[in-house]
Amino acid sequence: MDWPPKTPLRRRAQWPPEGIARAMAPQRRAGAKAPEGGGGGGARAEGRRRLSSGVKGNVPKDSRRKWLKVAFLLSSAMLGYLLSGTYFLGEDGVTEVLAHYSEHLPDRFIEIPCSEDYDSHKRFEGCTPRKCGRGITDAIIRREEAEKIRRIAERGLSLGGSDGGASILDLHSGALSLGKHFVNMYRYFGDKVYDIFTEEDFQLYRDVRQRIQQKIALAFGISSSSMYLTKPTFFSRINSSEAKTTHDEYWHPHIDKVTYGSFDYTSLLYLSDYTEDFGGGRFVFMDEGANRTVEPRAGRVSFFTSGSENLHHVEKVQWGTRFAITISFTCNPDHGIGDPVLT
């Protein structure tokens, strides 16, 4: 998800790996053993050295040129591959872009092995993940709907907002960032809330949640009726302002199932566009040997199983404002929550 408190970090893989680093180190050739005898033996050895020197000056030189040429071509090809539109070299090594902001993805799904995190919680057959992975789709929420959802977030967050760079709004619990703290907006602002939101806003919210839930169920081969909305589910607004409290530090790597034990499936609906509305702020899956990123665009849905197979973080926003909504699901009905209702 986009917004947990800090959790312990998993140690990043060394780059290059230690064994490769040793193999890359220059190797010293052992020194030649000095001849024990003298006289004629020395002359014959000297003759052999002159002959050997003459050969080294000609045939191996051409061979070295060929190998250098091959090495150059291979290096150029690899560099071109890494700097292509899908892979590039980042600060932490190789990064693969799973979803570019400029492309429209009907559907993309990557299956990965499940972690053991689910074994320490009660299992619910037909729901608890046995098939794990991550998916991205631009096909279930229209851009116009994402813009309407974003206006709901903007109106709600206009009531408050964090002093730091990150604010949340939870329509379910009423939690709203205000300065360095959180308030329940339904109690704190009372009837003013009815001037901010409409029943149509909440109906759109429920409809979007339902479509995302059905998409997740289809991707992982489970019944949507076995999934329950769980908390926290919230809007996030992130800008480049300096963090004032730990609640503003959204960029730490984390595992949703560890942070919130009820989580089984996590989804994000992006409400603004990478490179147009903000810079930085990409979503990053932290896999062994490489990072894999999702570049937000309005209406894009990213979803994944919540265990440590999907360790992730959000890059710091460098400029502009990033809007998203995190919608999370559990298999445990005891941890389920209802849709928000404007009463």
Active site residue 322: yes
CB 300 within 8 A of CB 137: yes
**Residue 237 is which amino acid?**
R
Q: How far apart are CA 105 and CA 136, in angstroms?
A: 7
Q: What angle do CA 36, 39, 44 make, to 5 degrees?
A: 85
Q: How far apart are CA 327 and CA 310, in angstroms?
A: 16
Of the candidates 134, 237, 292, 322, the residue annotated as catalytic is 322
Determine the 3-state secondary structure of 109 from DSSP.
strand
Helix boundaries (H) for 171-327: 185-188, 193-196, 199-220, 256-259
Cβ neighbourhood burial of 154 (10 Å; 0-12, 13-18, 19+): middle
C-alpha radius of gyration, the chain, whole number: 29
Helix boundaries (H) for the chain: 18-24, 40-56, 59-82, 143-157, 185-188, 193-196, 199-220, 256-259
Residue 300's closest CA among 208, 203, 181, 220?
208
Cβ neighbourhood burial of 269 (10 Å; 0-12, 13-18, 19+): buried
Instruction: For residue 235, give Cα distances in angstroms to 29, 269, 274, 300.
Output: 63, 9, 17, 15
DSSP 121-146: S---TTTS-SSEEEEEESSSS-HHHH
Catalytic center residues: 322
